Amino acid sequence: MRGEFPSLRFLRPGRLSCISGITAVVAGVDRCMVCIMSRASSQLAFFLCGCYMAALGVHAGEHYVADHHKAGYYVAAVYEHQSILSPNPLALTSRKEALELMNQNLDIYEQQVMTAAQKGVQIIVFPEDGIHGFNFTRTSIYPFLDFMPSPQLVKWNPCLEPQRFNDTEVLQRLSCMALKGEMFLVANLGTKQPCHSSDPGCPNDGRYQFNTDVVFSSNGTLVDRYRKHNLYFEAAVDAPLKVDHIIFDTPFAGKVGIFTCFDILFFNPAIQLLRDSEVKHIVYPAAWMNQLPLLAAIQIQSAFAIAFGINFLAANIHHPSLGMTGSGIYSPLKSFWHHDMESSKGHLIIAQVARNPQGLVGTENATGKMDPSHSKFLKILAGDPYCEKDAQEIHCDAATKWNMNAPPTFYSEMMYDNFTLVPVWGKEGYLRVCANGLCCYLLYQRPTLSKELYALGVFDGLHTVHGTYYVQVCALVKCGGLGFDTCGQEITEATGIFEFHLWGNFSTSYIFPLFLTSGMTLETPDQLGWENGHYFLRKSRLSSGLVTAALYGRLYERD
């Protein structure tokens, strides 16, 4: 529920709009940050959001609305919701009082559905904990829970059959929104299910309580439900005894998978769902606290879409004082996202989404000629005799000399893990740093040097703070200051420009490319893939200063 990856240091506020990698301050709009990311300006898609009309005028919006049912595309929306919270979630309350609070949030949901309907939206996603809030005990959350019949056993339209089950007022309202807006609707709520003492898993109070995502079709029918499996310090609810692997069918996008927040870091159900090759779309309610430099919400959301070549529709809760913001509609080549640490208002993103997303492909650039830096990278991996390496220097051809100068290895805490790092000095170079069995490499050039410290870091081990899971990480990060001990601190602004290859000898195939530039801006890698037993990320032409470029590997079997 509340705040996966809590952070002790919150992000610095930012407001900007990013269009095809070109950054510009949005004039005339207070506290709004909306971004589009695309590999090529010619691929720019149209979008609408709560501040878009005021920020960029109505022309693109009019074109978007007129073209919203383009063949091979559908229109999706995610809403980052500033939820109205219980003033005392630990206090016992009545069902009537609980419904009064939840209806305030549902009123806002209904407004967003009606706005989305006017733009031709076919599916909308709302965040985790958006209706009832968080920080409850098992007892205090009970009045906020709806009874949840199994959609596999019961076909039910709560809007049209409101008297069929008791304690289903929230489900009824959501069903009516879907029906009125004529769109698929995904939302998160707390649910309850009675159990008997003969059930060995039945809690002592005689009921299961779940953190539940629900899916309604455009006619209000309850299509399916997903009960969160990987709970994040959620004492008020239970994990289901058996993992839900939920895939639902839509007429506009085919098969769609669903999971919640912290689930994104684990094999079940997230990775298991994608073993079905027909699943090209994921809907993802979240209540995620940003944790830089590696796990801000928009970082991991975008990385998941790129790593698996899918569309990823992510709705995060919006509570900047808790470090909670970051939602978007992501595809491997083009993304629309929102990150705002200043505004106290919710935010709607609407985007046109390809039914069959294109992934990052190809080993050469558009001209058909191999990039010189990529040629050097391949020679290094191949151990080419013309790419001679020793402790002092590397020669990749007669005209190029890379200074090594044996940079010092140091240690610093990053993401609560003890990273081994080397400083990134000079305008060009080739670096290596190792820990346990993982070695990370960086081949880089910089057009100009900035007065900033960057470092290449490696971690290969079990992460044990705020969750236990095994990671292998190669990370190029900007440090918080000029001292080695500042590497790993949370920063959002940078000026350093790099052209680089980052790679490592990972022992997992599950590797997520985390990429963040100045002002909480996302970038798309030019190329990703395996080469000679190493996984690499390649990037040139950054639009702004580099904050983080990382390859984040998960070894699920070692958790």
**Which residue, chain included where needed, has tokens 């569309």?**
311
* Alpha-carbon separation of residue 433 from 77, 268, 371, 419, 420 (angstroms): 42, 32, 25, 10, 7
Neighbours of 1 (CB within 10 A): 27
Catalytic position from the list 4, 128, 499, 523: 128
Other Cβ atoms less than 10 A from the Cβ of 425: the count is: 14
Please enumerate in sequence order all residues whose Cβ is within 8 A of that of 507, keeping only pairs 6 or more positions apart, or say none. Answer: 437, 438, 472, 553, 555
Bridging pattern class, strands 521-522 and 146-147: unpaired
Total count of residues recorded for the chain: 559
Q: What would the two tokens of residue 459 be?
A: 């971690």
Directed axis angle between helix 169-181 and helix 95-118, to 10°? 10
Catalytic option among 35, 51, 159, 228: 228
For residue 479, indicate whether it is catalytic.
Answer: no
- Bridge partners (DSSP) of residue 146 are 191
Say how many Å lie between the first and final Cα of the chain, rounded.
21
CA atoms within 13 A on the CB side of 293: 36
**Residue 270 gets which letter from DSSP?**
I
Residue 270 CA to residue 384 CA, distance in Å, equals 40
Q: How far is Cα 44 from Cα 412, in angstroms, rounded to an integer?
A: 40
Instruction: Indicate the burial class of 88 (C-beta count within 10 angstroms; 0-12, 13-18, 19 or more).
Output: exposed
Question: The tokens 């209706």 sit on which residue?
Answer: 131
Q: For every residue of 43-98, which 3-state class applies, written as one string?
A: HCCCEEECCHHHHHCCHHHHHHHHCCCCCCEEEEEEEEECCCCCCCCCCCCCHHHH
Q: Residue 233: which of 127, 327, 137 has the closest Cα?
A: 137
Q: Where are the beta strands (DSSP E) in 161-275?
A: 184-194, 207-216, 222-227, 247-250, 254-258
Greatest alpha-carbon span in the chain: 81
Tell me whether the omega of the peptide bond preceding residue 293 falls within 30 degrees of 0, making it cis: yes
Q: Is 428 a catalytic residue?
A: no
Active site residue 440: no
What type of residue is 202?
C
In 95-178, beta strands by DSSP E: 123-125, 146-147
User: Which DSSP symbol is given to 370?
Assistant: P
Q: Point out the catalytic residue in the list 18, 159, 176, 261.
A: 261
Bridge partners of 111, per DSSP, are: none
Catalytic residues: 128, 228, 261
